[in-house]
Every structure is written in C-alpha cells, then in structure tokens.
C-alpha cells in the first residue's frame, strides 16, 4: 500500500493542493512506498504567512521558556527513537544503526541550542563615557527557512531548526522529497513538546517551493545543504534580495596517509569513512592519498582485503555494513562514474557493480568500489561521486600530498594519519580546507563548535551550529544609554566621543 504524505502547517497535517506529487521509494526493493505532495507557490506562501503570524508571540517567550520546549522535544524523540530510526532507514536506505546516528548528531545540536539563555546574553560596558552605559542584545530575524538534503533527513533539519527556533524565529523547512517522513514527524514532536502551532512549518516541494522561499520578502534568511551548483544558485539568489544565506555544497574529502601511519588503523578508517552510508555523506572520504609507493602498495592490499569482507544488504539487516543508494538516479550516476573512471585510465581494483543482494534484485544496491592510480586530471577525482567509491591518488612526498586537497575546488573536510606531531601540526595549519582531522577520518565537529567547509563547499560567512548559528539567526542591537542628572549642558555640534 502506498502511503499519502502531507505538509505540516499551523501545527497540523495539511494535504497537498497543487496536484503534483513525487515518489518516495523503498531503496531496498525499488518499489514506491509513498507519495509526497509538491507545493506550489501559493501553498508555500501560505506556510510563510502562517509562520509570520506565529513568530511575534514566540519571540516574546523568554529564552528559558523556549529552551524548555527543546528539552521536552529531546525527551519525546528519545521515547520514539527506534521507530524514527527505522522510518528514516526505510526511506533513505542507510542501515538502522546509521540512521540512529543521524538522529543522534541532530539531537546534539538541539542540546546545544537548549543553552540559549546563555548564548543570547549580550555585552555590557559600564561608564563607557561619563554617565553613559553601552549594551548589546541579540534579537531574532523573524521568519527563516531551511532547504535540506536527502542524505541526513534528521540531522541537518535539526542543525538548522534548533538554533533558529531557540533564537525566537519561526522556521519553514523544505526537506528533501526523497525521504520526508522523518522531518514531518519531528515537526509534530516539536508541537507536542509545546512549540506554538505555526512556528515550525514543513512544506514539501521542488524548485517552485524553493524559489518561493528565495523570493518572498517575509523570509529573512535561508540555510541550504546540497550540491554546489544549487548551493551557489540559492546563495546568489537570496543575497541579491537582501537575505542572509548559508549554503553548503559538494565535497571531495581527502585522507593523507603518511609512511609512519598505522596502516591497519588507516585502512579501517578509510573503509568506514569511504563506504559507510553507501558513500552518501558530504563528509565521506572519497580520496586516499598514500605518501610513497611502498605505503601505497601496502595500503591498497589492506583495502582490498577489507572490502572483500564487507556485507551489503537491506537497511533492516543488522549484519549489513551499508545499504542501497537512495534512488534509481543515484545508482545510475555511480555506475556512470565507474564506467568513466575506467575510460579515463584509472585501475578499477574492486568493481562494486557486480554485487547481488538475494531477494532484493530491484533495490538500488551497488558494492564498494576501489580505484587505484587516479590522477588529478580525471573527472572521477575532480567531481563528487556520492557513492561507495574510493579513489587512491599516489603522492611521491608530503608536499605533493598537501597540495592535492589544498588545490582542489572543494574544501569541506580532510584528514591526515600520522604518528608525527610536527607533520600533523604543519598540515593542520597549511591545508586549504575548512575541517581537518588528525587520525580522525570524518572530522565533523561537536555541536558547540561549528561545521563548514571552504572554497566551493560553502557560500556564506557563518557556519552551521555552534555559536556561528546564533549569530546567523539573530541580529545585534546596540544601546547607548544616559540618564542625565538634571544639569543642562546645551547643544553640542561636535561628534560625540567617550574620551
């Protein structure tokens, strides 16, 4: 039976009115399991209007009261955690354990945002001038929006919504139409936790809904995560209309393996970071850079051995290391890149196209693939594949290895595996990339720091979560205050100073 999904507006489920729908697949079987309505301009504008009507009252709630809603939301999600992870897994294709991690990393940002009474404290200067005090306050922007991707349907909506709501904004979420059920359920749980209806609305849709959010003057700021081409489009369109925007795009994350590294540790890290979630992570390691031929030969041998033991299976299989890709287009794209890499002259050491999952022949499965002798001129090196494909680019020395991630157009994340502290310190200071791991393959920061890449992996000035998110979702008002004692000083025509 195919489920009929809805939007979530004004604290309730709202059926689609446009007549347009998208298919939500079961990635393990290939069958359509749900239909999601795709909002038109009028439906999206109605969600924005509803958010605008609810925001003013929500902003009047004191920060501690807003924090209590977040804390109650955390308790409700914990009580429903396993079914949420299974629902997420069933639409995305990632394993249930991985889906639970998706939820966990989102909840950690909710926990951070629950500290909003402290995070919103302004600055104060007593007696900045004679009888004059100066203080600042952070105030919400109003209505803000988030456009989130399929690969983390719980984590990234929570990364955006939790700080935005804590700061007193109303939030309109446009999740991926590929796996929208968990974002819809999370919105319901926010209302159950005490969030006033309308403060968080979820509108499903495609380009028409996105363009409406970009063009409507009532939307003050937007967050986006997705491909670089669309991130750039969202950023340029939003900022041209005077909106704030933080837009995160593609990645090509490298791991440098120095000759002194523990190769077993490095190989294990590459297997997990390269093939986990079928490679559908913006922080997946997709390029291994061993330094020196001896290191490269030994590393490739260890990778081949480990890949041979990987289990690809349906998301509900507790023994599966990773599941299917999210949809038929994703499967076609990854297969196309494998064909391309061979045509470009890369050595396909392990070919994942031959994988077969018994009983799931219609699913979007592809096995782990490994290219060796990839060069920087190849498209399989330059472009984001977003699948379980790892490329080995051999570097003659440390300086060549350092140049590879530094000169790539993407600059999301990078890692180095070494036992040498001097090398690690030099690398972290010099590499031209936004997030760096030292013997850590996926350097996603903890919730009270911030997440963001460099170069064409990010458009905007402020990162996701951490204190950057509080700055992004608020604006500063500064007050200069004086209470005269009754002595009149007459008019002054000189610019005021505090000297």
The mean pLDDT values, 10 residues at a time, for the chain of 499 residues are 96 96 97 98 98 98 98 98 98 97 98 97 92 94 98 98 98 98 98 98 97 98 97 98 97 98 98 97 97 98 97 95 97 98 98 93 97 98 97 98 98 97 98 97 93 95 94 97 78 75
CA distance 218 to 48: 7
CA distance 227 to 225: 7
Residues in a beta bridge with 477: 137
Residue 484, pLDDT score: 83
pTM: 0.95
Question: Whose structure tokens read 């195919």?
Answer: 2
Q: What ranges do the domains of the chain cover?
A: 3-249+457-479, 253-438
CA distances from 406 to 229, 273, 391, 401, 441 (A): 21, 20, 17, 9, 17
In the CATH scheme, what is the code of domain 253-438?
3.40.309.10
Residue 499, pLDDT score: 64
Question: Contact 310/275 with Cβ under 8 angstroms?
Answer: yes
Residue 497, pLDDT score: 76
Kindly state the helix (H) or strand (E) to which residue 343 belongs, with its residue range: helix 328-344
Residue 487, pLDDT score: 66
Give every CB contact of residue 492 below 8 A, 6+ residues apart in sequence: none
Rg from Cα positions in the chain: 25
CA distance 202 to 184: 7
Question: Contact 380/346 with Cβ under 8 angstroms?
Answer: yes
Residues in a beta bridge with 478: 136
Q: How many CA atoms lie within 13 A of 464 on its CB side?
A: 36
* φ, ψ (nearest 5 deg) of residue 395: -110, 140
Residue 496, pLDDT score: 76
Residues in a beta bridge with 285: 253
Question: Contact 199/55 with Cβ under 8 angstroms?
Answer: yes
Residue 141 burial by Cβ neighbours in a 10 Å radius (0-12, 13-18, 19+)? buried
Looking at 3.40.605.10, 3.60.150.10, 3.30.70.1400, 3.30.70.3420, the CATH number of the domain 3-249+457-479 comes to 3.40.605.10
**Sheet order of strands, 347-350 included:** 347-350, 369-372, 389-392, 285-290, 253-257, 413-417, 435-438
The pair of structure tokens assigned to 281 is 């992570």
CA distance 470 to 164: 8
Residue 494, pLDDT score: 79
Question: Contact 429/408 with Cβ under 8 angstroms?
Answer: no
Residue 131, pLDDT score: 87
CA distances from 176 to 201, 286, 291, 319 (A): 14, 23, 39, 28
Residue 108, pLDDT score: 98
Among 381, 362, 359, which residue's Cα sits nearest to residue 371? 381
3-state secondary structure of 144: strand
Give every CB contact of residue 482 below 8 A, 6+ residues apart in sequence: 129, 131, 132, 133
Contacts 24+ apart (CB under 8 A), 61-68: 61/168, 62/117, 63/116, 63/117, 63/120, 63/166, 63/168, 64/117, 66/116, 66/165, 66/166, 66/168, 67/113, 67/114, 67/115, 67/116, 67/117, 67/166, 68/194
Q: Give the catalytic positions in this structure.
A: 282
Residue 94, pLDDT score: 97
Residues in a beta bridge with 35: 4, 23
Residues in a beta bridge with 384: none
Q: How many CB atoms lie within 10 A of CB 41?
A: 15
């Amino acid at each position: 039976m195919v489920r009929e999904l809805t939007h979530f507006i004004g604290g309730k489920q709202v059926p689609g009115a446009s007549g347009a729908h998208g298919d939500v697949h079961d990635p393990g079987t290939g069958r359509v399991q749900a239909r999601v309505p795709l909002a038109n301009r009028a439906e999206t504008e109605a969600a924005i209007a509803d958010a605008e009507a609810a925001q003013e009252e929500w902003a009047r709630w004191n920060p501690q009261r807003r924090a209590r809603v977040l804390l109650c939301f955390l308790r409700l999600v914990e009580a429903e955690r396993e079914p949420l992870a299974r629902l997420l897994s069933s639409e995305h294709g990632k394993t249930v354990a991985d889906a639970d991690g998706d939820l966990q990393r989102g909840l950690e940002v909710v926990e951070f945002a629950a500290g909003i009474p402290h995070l919103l404290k302004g600055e104060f200067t007593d007696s900045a001038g004679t009888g004059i005090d100066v203080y600042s306050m952070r105030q919400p922007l109003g209505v803000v929006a988030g456009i989130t991707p399929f690969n983390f349907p719980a984590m990234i909506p929570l990364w955006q919504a939790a700080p935005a709501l804590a700061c007193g904004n109303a939030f309109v979420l446009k999740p991926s139409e590929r796996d929208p059920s968990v974002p819809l359920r999370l919105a319901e749980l926010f209302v159950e936790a005490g969030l006033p209806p309308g403060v968080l609305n979820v509108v499903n849709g495609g380009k028409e809904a996105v363009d409406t959010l970009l063009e409507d003057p009532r939307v003050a700021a937007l967050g986006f995560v997705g491909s670089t081409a669309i991130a750039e489009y969202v950023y340029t369109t939003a900022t041209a209309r005077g909106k704030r925007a933080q837009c995160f795009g593609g990645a090509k994350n490298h791991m440098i393996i120095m000759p002194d590294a523990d190769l077993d540790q490095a190989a294990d890290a590459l297997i997990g970071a390269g093939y986990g979630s079928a490679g559908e992570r913006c922080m997946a390691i997709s390029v291994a850079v061993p330094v020196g031929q001896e290191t490269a030969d030994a590393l490739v041998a260890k990778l081949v051995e480990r890949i041979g033991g990987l289990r690809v299976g349906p998301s509900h299989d507790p023994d599966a290391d990773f599941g299917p890709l999210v949809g038929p287009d994703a499967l076609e794209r990854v297969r196309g890149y494998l064909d391309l890499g061979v045509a470009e002259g890369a050595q396909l050491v392990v070919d994942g196209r031959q994988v077969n999952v018994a009983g799931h022949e219609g699913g979007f499965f592809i096995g782990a693939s490994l290219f060796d002798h990839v060069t920087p001129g190849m498209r399989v090196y330059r472009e984001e594949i977003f699948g379980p494909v790892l490329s080995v680019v051999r570097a003659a020395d440390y300086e060549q290895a350092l140049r590879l991630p530094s000169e790539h157009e993407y600059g999301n994340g990078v890692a180095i595996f070494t036992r040498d502290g001097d090398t690690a310190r030099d690398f972290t200071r010099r590499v031209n990339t936004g997030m760096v791991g030292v013997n850590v393959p996926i350097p996603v920061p903890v919730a009270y720091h911030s997440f963001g890449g460099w170069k064409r992996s990010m458009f905007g000035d402020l990162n996701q979560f951490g204190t950057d998110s509080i700055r992004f979702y608020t604006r500063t008002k500064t007050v200069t205050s004086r209470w005269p004692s009754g002595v009149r000083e007459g008019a002054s025509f000189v610019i005021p100073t505090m000297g």
